[in-house]
A and B are shown apart, each in its own frame.
Chain A
């Protein structure tokens, strides 16, 4: 703009408003205003790559200390063929096939609707869920959920599913791997694009997964909240795989 930037009280009012919005929006869910991109995602290391398609199960390593995550009854899945750190594998179970994939996602309106009812207990146990903020300007249906035992716990998982535009989905994928140490964190697969990273934190381990197909995507952001086969369950539920 050619005008001078605001100063004094005017600047302060602008900053207060923006700060409130930023803190409200500081969830894994990318949002847009006025139909534009507010897409932001985190990035770091490509961990696993399924060469074919199908099921992808994100598994954060089990921690030594108890976590607010449900007990898993499912056996660990076999390690993927791609290079994967042994401490916390992200396993891909390719299902070689050339079948066409449904690209029309059915985005649920509830957290429970993100996964098959039969899988919910296994994946989330009794951890409370809540729907995060919804954006009326979102170009398509979207749901973003948080599972956290209580506000005092660090263990948390966010799952977002949304339908938007092909451009926005492309932007999500393109910006996933632009940190220098990652390189290309995304893999094009017959059933969609998978981007993943994992990084150790003081409170545990953070895993971030983006899966995109057509004009829809799923983001799973988990901190010290291990799951087994969650992405597979979500993808199967919303795309009907």
Chain B
């Protein structure tokens, strides 16, 4: 999956969405919905939850496009993190409903192996991402960091999306190299 294929880059799509262009939302959906669906499939308990999680992730993208900052090349890591958060919220609400039966589930910590298992159907997509995006995915989806934390850990300055055109890729690459030791 290459975010630069098609008519618009991810950044251009985000900017168009910020201006209320629904065709940009459709483009983002076409580009990433299948991947998100596979990821959500491993997170949710039923198909209806999968649909809800994926839809909510894209609606979050739509609503936050005006302020969204993509520190790397693609929006996929961000969408995956949002997807995970929506899945968590969905699961938390379900857990509240059945708290009488399964209270221990509420306090169950996220397990690294479990997190890795949840990525089993999107490993290829993540592996194919540019380095920065892949690292963000690892930090967020495997190690449990927030998107903002991951960006900070990679030394990425999240400037406004409208100001990121002239970003210094060499500096970003250096930050990644430094982070990976």
Contacts and interface: CB of A to CB of B under 8 A. Distances in A.
Contact of B18 (A14, A26, A197, A206): A206
A1 B53 CA distance: 13
A40 B56 CA distance: 7
A154 B20 contact: yes
Interface of B: 15, 18-20, 22, 25-26, 29-30, 33-34, 37-38, 41-42, 44-48, 50-52, 54-56, 58-60, 62-69, 89-90, 93, 121, 146-148, 151-152, 158, 160, 162
Which of B15, B47, B55, B147 counts the most A-chain CB atoms under 10 A from its CB? B55
21 contacts: A1-B46, A1-B47, A15-B33, A15-B34, A18-B37, A18-B51, A19-B26, A23-B22, A37-B56, A39-B56, A41-B63, A167-B93, A179-B64, A180-B152, A180-B158, A181-B160, A199-B18, A202-B19, A202-B162, A206-B18, A208-B66
A130 interface: no
A72 interface: no
A199 B66 contact: yes
Contacts, number: 129
In order of increasing CB-CB distance, the 9 nearest A-B pairs are A180-B148, A44-B67, A5-B41, A40-B60, A42-B63, A42-B64, A40-B59, A40-B63, A5-B38
B66 to A, nearest CB: 5
B41 A38 contact: no
A163 B160 CA distance: 33
Interface in A114-170: 154, 156, 167
**Majority SS at the chain B contact face:** helix
Interface residues of A, number: 46
B13 to A, nearest CB: 14
Contact of A22 (B25, B50, B68, B152): B25
A216 B139 CA distance: 36
B34 A11 contact: yes
Contacts of A11: 34, 37
Which of A11, A40, A203 counts the most B-chain CB atoms under 10 A from its CB? A40
